[in-house]
Amino acid sequence: MTSLTPLQVAHIAKLARLTLTSEEEKKMSKELSSILKYVDVLSEVNTDGIEPTAQVTGLENALREDIVKPSGALPDALLACSPLPIVEHQIEAPHAHG
């Protein structure tokens, strides 16, 4: 059976750039371990002779061709839409604190 410790959950959270409290780490440890145990159960299913399937409807990609078209937008007109100040032909964004 696969299970995750709160320390492993803390590491995963750090990689995902999530901040968890110690209580959340314990809770996620139980919940993620439960999911991994279910995946272990699924891996026991005999799939011999079963063709891999991504979807079952038979539909294929129905996307349009990606064609680049000029927008006709002028830089000065785009800058004029900004409620923020324009400095040296650039939008000045507020500085993040902390």
**DSSP assignment letter at 58:** -
Which residue, among 97, 98, 28, has the nearest Cα to 19 in the 3D structure? Answer: 28
Per-residue model confidence (pLDDT) at position 81: 94
Longest dimension (CA), the chain: 65
CB atoms within 10 A of CB 29: 19
CA distances from 31 to 2, 10, 48, 79, 85 (A): 12, 14, 30, 48, 47
The torsion angles phi and psi of 87, rounded to 5 degrees, stand at -125, 125
Alpha-carbon dihedral sign for residues 80, 85, 89, 91: negative
pTM more than 0.85 = no
Query: pLDDT per residue over 8-39, tens digit each?
Result: 999 999 999 999 999 999 999 999 999 999 99
Residue spans of the domains in the chain: they are 6-43
Mean pLDDT score of the chain: 89
More confident residue, 7 or 1: 7
Residue 3 has a pLDDT of 86
Residue 59, pLDDT score: 80
CATH number for the domain running over 6-43: 1.10.20
Neighbours of 4 (CB within 10 A): 20
CB distance 20 to 10 below 8 Å: yes
Residue 51's pLDDT is 86
